[in-house]
A and B are shown apart, each in its own frame.
Chain A
């Protein structure tokens, strides 16, 4: 009797375990690919090459706490005289955990007068945002901001 009970329980647990294992596979494969910090680093390297990226000159304005990741206002401004001799060539914005590390590349020039760009972005998770500015002298400057997102964007199911 005792022996019989044990064996059924073992069989039951065995079956339950394999069912969990089977169920776990599709769950894992359905998870969206996330841009890892390594992908973020690679994306930044693709833009800056081997140049040194220094912190400063760039100001990244983004709310620290966001309720809806589908539309997050963001402003990047760079301290620069914006003269033909000294101006911001481009501004690149990256993220850490969306499926893709790039957010946008913005190309300006001395005619901009002011090195400032605003747009609305999507964030799939609470994460770090990096803005990098390329100056006319070839130097790179950056700013980072951490954003907490309550409702994620990008990867939800279409109803």
Chain B
């Protein structure tokens, strides 16, 4: 059993009408690791998770969870997995405790074991005080925690977390991260999808970047970052109209074409850091007649990996969050 990966997907294909949501997705997730599935909206992350969690049949390819086929042996797969989707999948009108007991019993615990485990999880997830309140009175962070508790109640060996922190405020996010870290310490394998690159960076030991329904890069976050060139030069211009000129002046220093990022007055260039680099850059910009307000150098992030690999920015975070909040408000 030890060399069987927790999750193995080979050439998964899924169409929705004419749209190809997955276009030959391959994935290998080793046991006991946190694996990040990274990509913008529409990249196929959620479709992949839904296939692996037996909610959706692939149109092509195959997938195994702990060696069991997700289509042919779906019932066995369901006994080993837990799923936390993008929206808290709970009964709004039941109390937090009643929700957990219900899911526990449906996860094949006896009534007594379900009650015991519900109480344990409520305490561990800091929800005891709210346990006998209806879920509809919960905050966004509390719902996510309860939802995660619900997917843990049957003690899954493989847990799918589909954008677990989308729409959460920073402190609720930090709390979710803590929980995730402790889960891994317990030996649970975790497949995490996220549009927040920093989240994958912090939590995942390996990352697959997906775009257009297939994996376009895979590996530990540090390796991926190194592969796109170590540093980033960030320049804030005094005048937005200088962007083109500045990009041309920076070209000789850059390891890849310099694209004005679109954010006002900001220009970013991939560089190899060296002594005196900033001085030379400022001189070159001055010679080109460009006024600089601010200059800094930072290490490449997964955002840069994404931009380099796909040619487009990972995600407009503010738009995504606004959409999420609107959806939650409707519910």
Q: Do A and B belong to a common assembly? A: no
Binding site for A on B (CB under 8 A): none
